Chains A and B, each alone.
Chain A
């Protein structure tokens, strides 16, 4: 096969490049304005003002108030804080020790819920249907008087399905249960309004939207009682101590502002690219799109190809300059296929052949054309040497019901 002809980065759900605009916004805070925002003198106050401006920006982008935004080090931290902090406080204050989540959450949520189970909490893992969506009525049926918290992701990181968040918010409000959502993948792709959508806590991350790695935020609705994340100084209203990462917080706010202001353009630009990719890949024999085609992020294309294994697929794509992922990057290193694909009902045999392409602001239709040129050849090459493909073709095994 030919060597790489171009470089196509289509793993934007894993991370993104820091944008020029974000970088420029951050740079002064490394050199000139290095003061500690907690300091009284001018250099400190010159850092304090942009910090609070950043808070107001993020708040405005989510429909929140500035005093409801807390800066963190990443999306995982936000998830950990929201879930553990709220669940423990609920148990202490109200004796509630039940948490509801879904089977296909990010590990930052799933493993946090498992940690709560070790503390004696009961956790309900709602099933996810074949379309990659949870059912609001099943969620409502799972709520008991012991339920402290519901945590359901806004959009899935792997198959890109967008959950019925406003409906879930309404149900939680009706039953007086706190509702947290991991919106790391959704910011910039879906319009978010925490008040209108009845969201009590929301996690977001910078590096998925062209801010640097190592910065995130948590929205906590005023009045929600939650344990402190880190004890220490008075930063972040005393709930998350530690000198603020001013430069990256300013970068995060710049990125959130850009992402949210351009949601409509992004959806309009990425959707035709996504649709062309899906149409093109569905032409490959015995392939399937994972999750609902309609209720999905504009940049997400998740497929399974029978008879092909995901890692070898990624390695060959990489040799052609294409950076994509198979399942979630967090699952590499384990030999089991992604819990997300298993949760939507796929057998291991099919889930092993998964590919996630996640388009972002820097991708073009030419990238899509290049992928559609290269990928079918790679699938063909792998299938030609695959004894599983041989068995599929001779009818010894049949996975077509899952297609």
Chain B
């Protein structure tokens, strides 16, 4: 598996890793059967994601994309975090091997799931803001 130096750095030294106790929203995507689950916690103040953390079960790319995604949305307004695409996460990591593209999709979805959860908790319907969270289309697993 040829990972970029950035992927290996984020895998070996993941940023913002661990459980968050006083979160504003938490989202979990993925499936243990496929071999990766991402859980993303966000702390929201005003409209800004002031803190973020993740827990991931998965391969090196899954851990690295989670870590990079948290870096990319930390301190950003929710509206901006929702614009983060899996391509942007991949580019920030100097690319991923083709079979690992689905990990970056999971990272994008994990953020959306956490934001959705935040809106639900404050009594706002997330659907018009966040949109539907699509199923992972990149996943090549057999289920």
Which of A's residues lie within 8 Å of B, judged by CB?
A: 307-309, 311-312, 315-316, 319, 332-337, 347-349, 352, 384-390, 397
Known: A309-B59, A333-B99. A352 touches B12 (CB 8 A): no
CA distance A384 to B14 in the complex (A): 12
Chain B residues near A397 (CB-CB < 8 A): 32
Q: Given the complex, which residues of A lie within 8 Å of B140, measured CB to CB?
A: 334-335
Evaluate contact between B56 and A386: CB separation under 8 angstroms.
yes
A387 pairs with B34, CB closer than 8 A: no
Given A385-B55, A387-B55, A397-B32, 11 other A-B residues pairs in contact with their CB atoms under 8 A? A308-B57, A312-B58, A316-B12, A347-B33, A349-B33, A385-B18, A385-B57, A386-B56, A387-B37, A388-B32, A388-B57
Determine if B1 and A332 form an interchain contact, defined as CB atoms under 8 angstroms apart. yes
User: Is B36 an interface position by the 8 A CB rule?
Assistant: yes
Judging by beta carbons under 8 Å apart, are A309 and B12 in contact? Answer: no
How many of chain B's residues have a CB under 8 angstroms from any CB in A?
Answer: 33
Tell me the dominant secondary structure on chain B's binding face. mixed
Assess whether B43 is interfacial by the CB under 8 Å rule: no
Interfacial chain A residues near B33, Cβ < 8 Å: 347-349
Given contacts A335-B140, A335-B141, contact A311 B28 (CB under 8 A): no
CB neighbours of A386 from chain B (8 A): 37, 55-57
Are A385 and B38 neighbours in the complex by a CB distance under 8 Å? no
B35 in contact with A312 (CB, 8 Å): no
Q: For residue A315, which residues in chain B have a CB less than 8 angstroms away from its CB?
A: 8, 11, 60
Nearest B residue (CB) for A384: B18
- Whether A385 and B56, one on each chain, are in contact in the complex, defined by CB atoms closer than 8 angstroms, is yes
Return the contact of B39 from the options A308, A335, A337, A387 (Cβ within 8 A).
A387
| Cα–Cα distance between A390 and B28 once the two chains are bound (Å) | 12
Please measure, in the bound complex, the distance between the C-alpha atom of A332 and the C-alpha atom of B142, giving whole angstroms.
15
Residue interface mask B23-59, A partner, CB < 8 A = 1: 0000010001111111100000000000000111111
Q: Could you tell me if A387 and B35 are in contact, using CB atoms closer than 8 angstroms?
A: no
Residue of A nearest to B40 (CB): A387
A334 to B142, CA, bound (A): 10
Complex contacts, A352 vs chain B, CB 8 Å: 32, 35
A387 to B32, CA, bound (A): 10
Write the chain B residue with the least CB distance to A351. Answer: B35
8 contacts across the A-B interface (CB closer than 8 A):
A311-B60, A312-B11, A385-B17, A385-B56, A386-B37, A386-B55, A387-B28, A387-B55
Q: Are A348 and B55 in contact (CB under 8 A)?
A: no
CB distance from A5 to the nearest CB of B (A): 16
Separation of A333 and B109 alpha carbons in the complex (Å): 23
